[in-house]
Structure 1
């Protein structure tokens, strides 16, 4: 598929319907423009010229579908992304969570795990990791397997170390991973405290009660209706006065229950559920 070719709206709808009926993944309420760009990108990488070729392989080749889903749903992520957000977690959220005997935190749309491992480091430094249950979920099983392994290319560690320091980190960042060839492997104690599971924000329901939910840079791919449903899901999953953290480009503006939350810091998109 050359760069001048675009799927029509009808062709994209057919692909969304096929994925839903054949594989059970519902992309109907994802933002169409973003989804169109990502499906087109997948076709370019695969060398497909027509939507027919794509539909044929989605129907008949399980390994191709696994690759397609991984490529379609990959989220750009990094450790301690938006350092001021993590500084706010350190200063304004974790001291309050420390009052709970057991702390439960959900990372929704965890991608390959960098943010949940950032959280586990924060919790360790606050002395809270041993009484926290971390849940990390994603639509994509390939993402989850990568996240479980906790393997990060060493070439990214320099930027992650800078982020960590800007977030208020005082320790030697290298103490949190083991270098092995070209990779850094997150230490065992920070991997074993996380429960990884598949969860689809478009269709799945509440599965626990949490004091903090982080869903950062995921809802930018949803249309307004799905964003609203996701915020309802998070509201119902939070304990009273629990915290919700969104991405820097996301907000509660378009949800019909925004009055159920108060802002902790508008700049870092941290909110608190009202009683």
Structure 2
């Protein structure tokens, strides 16, 4: 027996897990961004995609860049976030908002809407268009938030590839749109630019659902296809944040693959359209109003 032999090195997957954990710790300690409660499999997949995109050999290589190159932070945040969306994504949800939620919101003199995890802004502009067509936009304020500064910048510009316009037009009509989506954008050089009047009542702001607190007092909170990337404790924290942000009788709209079913906050909400994940805060609970 060779007593000088060292311990058996860990398998590659175990080593990757260690490197990912160190990367997440470095990101939190250096810049304050905490991804430790994100779903582990999804987070690891995105970190490895970032390694590949940067043509690095290991996770440790991008950890070193993260620690020593502050300009690398926006690249990391862009890679770790999932800013993939489309206008009027899941058209039935937007139709339900227009037909079931907007008539209730119409009773308020001022309507505050929080779009959390707004990514590149497609759903923000979708919401603005339907509010405009419902005659509610002039008394509405949309707070569009994300922790990804690059995505927020693109959202504010409202410029998207023209190749997406055909799909978005179909979604718009399926969502109950009453005009043509082309009425809301101009096209040039294979790009479309949404009409800036849609931004007049939108405030884009950086907000981190992991670490930040209540953002505003809202009558409607939309956070679609974000919670699926969170661990159960972080989902519970975020749902509690939304509950505390809503006025009594306010509405919460989640992604179609998300649910309140097993969350502690479920007792505070009544399903308004369970299939489309639209809930209403019980009038005896919740935030101000």
Which region of structure 1 is more displaced relative to structure 2, 60-69 or 196-205? Answer: 60-69
TM-score, with length taken from structure 2: 0.92
Which has the larger Rg? 2
Deviation, 1:8, is 2.6
Instruction: Tell me the matched-pair count.
Output: 272
How far 1:188 moved relative to its partner? 1.2
Separation in 2 of the partners of 1:209 and 1:269? Answer: 21
Shifted more, 114-123 versus 168-177: the winner is 168-177
**Aligned mate of 2:42, from 34, 38, 42:** 34
- Residue 238 of structure 2 is matched in structure 1 by 230
How far apart are residue 49 of structure 1 and its match? 1.2
Q: 1:268 aligns with which of 243, 252, 276?
A: 276
Tell me the distance in 1 between the aligned counterparts of 2:56 and 2:72: 12
Structure 1 unaligned blocks of 5 or more: none
Conserved? CA contact 1:220–1:250, under 8 Å: yes
Alpha-carbon distance in 2 for matches of 1:17, 1:119 = 37
Find the counterpart in structure 1 of residue 177 from structure 2: 169
Cα offset for 1:62?
Answer: 2.3
Runs of 4+ aligned structure 1 residues displaced above 6 Å come to none
The aligned runs of 1:152-167 (5 Å cut-off) are 152-167=160-175
* C-alpha contact (below 8 Å) 1:83/1:164 kept by paired residues: yes
Q: In structure 2, which of residues 104, 111, 125 is the aligned counterpart of residue 117 of structure 1?
A: 125
CA–CA distance in structure 2, aligned partners of residues 254 and 14 of structure 1: 31
Structure 1 partner of 2:55: 47
Q: Is the 8 A contact 1:228 1:254 kept in 2?
A: no
| Structure with more relative contact order (C-alpha pairs < 8 Å, separation 6 or more) | 1
Cα distance in 1 for residues equivalent to 2:60 and 2:237? 33
Per-residue deviation, 1:63: 2.5
2:66 alignment partner, one of 58, 61, 85: 58
- Indicate conservation of the 8 Å contact 2:48/2:59, yes or no: no
Structure 2 unmatched runs, 5+: 1-11, 284-289
| Match status 1:207 vs 2:222 | no
Normalised to the residue count of structure 1, the TM-score between the two structures is: 0.96
Structure-2 separation of matches of 1:207 and 1:193 = 17
Q: Could you say which residue in structure 1 is the equivalent of 2:199?
A: 191
Q: Deviations over 1:126-166 (max 9, x none)?
A: 00000000100001111110000011111100000000011
- CA distance in 2 between counterparts of 1:155 and 1:103 reads 33
Q: Match of 1:178?
A: 186
1:131 aligns with 2:129: no
